[in-house]
Structure 1
């Protein structure tokens, strides 16, 4: 009896330890950490930073485009580099959905260059989704925006379909109610919505996205002089669809709070932007950020960190692509 009495607790204890270890595996597998590549590719972040910054110097539209590319990738179904996949004869990929056709080539090229450099340094280790997350942060900082820690360990998706995009990304003519609902589905508050919209303080929009607001009967919410300037800037855009205007005409290449200050003056470019300044659910945040850049930066960082971990794939739910524009199964 004495032997059995001492043996059973020992077995029970061992079994408990094994169960705890087994339970810990998926948790550890799914955890993102800032030092994820510390052993496998210790210079990963430095390589990404150097590569994308060189690209920005050569092509100054890269930064704003990369921030937008990051949002379009993450907001749809999580940060998984699905937007980077190219279409083929068997699949029309996400990047070829109508709303993604205006994503700038410089942004895609920045990620490809970083991936190429990393494959030379530590092949098969760093995911394209992690590269995009780091690139967006680094280029944002390069434009004067806030620097923040990026947790790493994402895997790249196995799926990218254009028909999954429509209705799941904000449009330039979306109402505030539609925007709030779209963001709420992903766990983002109206405050997060307004903070993330502040990314429009850099970059540009094509005239087809907003010219209707500044036609013969301009939007009454628009400053009259600004409306006339935009009308002239977009004259003939139907014949020249590449005509574009800076989102922030005051400090177009600087990440600051000028976007919100412009909204308060009736100088929002897109209808969705200007609507944020009028709607009772969002205008208080527009006013806060217009008056306090520090508050904007703090909330923007919070929203970006939240976005960067939304719907990520880890473990066997994804892969580390050898090329960002193709699934590994197509490279065999």
Structure 2
């Protein structure tokens, strides 16, 4: 957490830099007139949820990431199965937090019904998760509207995979308008949260990945057997607290103590390896890069104006079809 006056001033300057990176179609304090207490309602509900269940901070950030990378930040990840959306995205990705997002939405609806989109609620909740779980916050623009469709067939072409190499990751993020700096900064979200053994076992068997610290890998093998343990939940960060968002991730990358090929590969390219080292050495600078990347990601293919709708509930379109 940034506690010194110097760090606080640096974060203020970096917050101003974040303001300049926001999508031109979105606006800071978007609900200042239509629902002045909107962000406060999201923040209070998010804080209560994470206080009761600390692992939800990472879950909210992951929902936001998956939503934005598939069809843009339109809350399509939240839609349930229906006649018009028979195979929604949520059927293809094992994510947590749907009920909790509904809780946040209900809190906002109680303040001003029919005004705040589920897409913005996801963005604000992810931002507030950084505050609760990481000890820093930043401005997040609003104005996103909710999409009407969700299709799990959109997932494979949209999401970067845990087995990707660094150049493929850079291309994947670039296709969404994000830079290599954004890629490395956002990867820091793997400092908290959970994964499953099925995503890690390719690095454990038939032999340990040579880029993985051996003692770390052997410990993982005891948790993730070669057969039958694919669905076992696993903390992303087994080195320190798995519920704290921090630059510890970069220290783990350097030590070879990370879960995915897509994590360790950041050390295989001179440019991204330098970014990893810089983020490991300077936690406040990483906070600023993470904040800017979260805002940049929140501008991916957004619906604004009269596009889409403002859903009454996050799991269904207003037509209910």
Q: Structure 1 length as normaliser, TM-score?
A: 0.85
Match 1:189 to one of 174, 179, 183: 179
Deviation at 1:31, TM superposition (A): 4.0
Whole-angstrom distance in 1 between the partners of 2:141 and 2:262: 31
2:123 aligned with 1:133 = yes
Q: Which structure features the higher share of helix residues?
A: 1
Deviation at 1:145, TM superposition (A): 4.2
Deviation at 1:39, TM superposition (A): 2.2
Give the corresponding residue for 1:47.
41
Give the corresponding residue for 1:154.
144
Of the structure 1 ranges 86-95 and 118-127, higher mean CA displacement relative to structure 2 is found in 86-95
Deviation at 1:89, TM superposition (A): 4.1
Larger Rg: 1
Map residues 1-332 of structure 1 onto 2, 5 A cutoff: 31-90=25-84, 91-97=86-92, 100=93, 102-104=94-96, 107-235=97-225, 238-251=227-240, 252-330=242-320
Whole-angstrom distance in 2 between the partners of 1:204 and 1:145: 20
Please list every run of 5 or more consecutive structure 1 residues that lacks an aligned counterpart in the other structure: 1-29
Whole-angstrom distance in 2 between the partners of 1:184 and 1:239: 36
List per-residue Cα deviations over 1:183-203 (Å, max 9, x = no partner). Answer: 111221111111111110111
Residues 189, 31 of structure 1: alpha-carbon distance in 2 compared, 3 angstrom cutoff: closer
Partner of 2:234, secondary structure, is strand
Please list every run of 5 or more consecutive structure 2 residues that lacks an aligned counterpart in the other structure: 1-23
Q: Structure 2 length as normaliser, TM-score?
A: 0.88
**Matched-pair contact (CA < 8 Å) for 2:250–2:280:** yes
Partner of 2:141, secondary structure, is coil
Whole-angstrom distance in 1 between the partners of 2:246 and 2:50: 18
Deviation at 1:78, TM superposition (A): 1.7
CA RMSD of aligned residues (A): 1.6
Deviation at 1:258, TM superposition (A): 0.8
Whole-angstrom distance in 2 between the partners of 1:134 and 1:190: 24
Residues 145, 309 of structure 1: alpha-carbon distance in 2 compared, 3 angstrom cutoff: farther
Partner of 2:80, secondary structure, is coil
Of the structure 1 ranges 296-305 and 209-218, higher mean CA displacement relative to structure 2 is found in 209-218
List per-residue Cα deviations over 1:135-179 (Å, max 9, x = no partner). Answer: 001111101243010111111012211111212101111122211
Aligned residues: 296
Deviation at 1:240, TM superposition (A): 4.1
